[in-house]
Amino acid sequence: MRQGYTQIDFRTKKGLSDVEKRHLLIALGVLTLAFAISFSGGTAGIFSGYFPVFLLISFISVGTAFLFHELAHRKMARVYGCWAEFRMWRWGLMLALLFSLFGFVFAAPGAVMIRGYITREQNGKISAVGPATNWVVGAGFLIGAYFTLIAGLDFLSFILAFVAFVNLFIGGFNLLPLGPLDGRKIFAWSVMNYAILVALIVGTLAAGYLLGPFRGFL
């Protein structure tokens, strides 16, 4: 998710600030826990012997999906000469934990805040790069999951498929054309590009189920 402001131009500052690092780490930790609880079956899954395994796989999945998504927004905004840093949304993180107890993750951990003048097209491209990154990573891991499944490496295939699914889920969730989510800004910029991104993510999710890798947990 990304929020933008059209103000006086702010030049970029290299590296992550201490505040941004703290917000990213907290959001990463909470989302990791939320996905682990959700995919282990909700409240009951916390007390299962497999929960530590789900926690580790969730950490890898969220690390690629959430961090790559937000850093992609940040990088693109800075390409356009804007100040851009991630800030967590406390209510969103609490909702993620709450919903995970019922087997679902509300993936709205925060947003990259931007200051600087940007056009509608630039705003759309900054927004699109997050879900696009999730699709690239998700598709790559899904290919790996498919071939390891064929090779009989079921557990490795499960891990790769889990990483792929979390990336596609976070990318797809952010494409909803609602409120501060990326989908609304992409749609306002280009309906065609919005439709392409939706088709890519939905199509890849369907392929993951039809080809087998996602059937282990869907």
3-class SS string, the chain? CEECCCCCCCCCCCCCCHHHHHHHHHHHHHHHHHHHHHHCCCHHHHHCCCHHHHHHHHHHHHHHHHHHHHHHHHHHHHHCCCEEEEEECHHHHHHHHHHHCCCCCCCCCEEEEEECCCCHHHHHHHHHHHHHHHHHHHHHHHHHHHHHHHCCCHHHHHHHHHHHHHHHHHHHHHCCCCCCCHHHHHHHHCHHHHHHHHHHHHHHHHHHHHCCHHHHCC
pLDDT reported for residue 6: 41
pLDDT given at position 109? 87
**Per-residue confidence (pLDDT) for residue 103, from 0 to 100:** 83
Q: Are 165 and 57 in contact (CB under 8 A)?
A: no
Annotated catalytic residue 20: no
Among candidate residues 20, 70, 85, 121, the one labeled active-site is 70
The predicted structure's pLDDT at residue 14: 64
Q: How far apart are CA 209 and CA 143, in angstroms?
A: 12
User: Quick one: pLDDT at residue 13?
Assistant: 56
pTM over 0.75: yes
Residue ranges for the chain with pLDDT beneath 70:
1-14, 218
pLDDT (0 to 100) of residue 7:
43
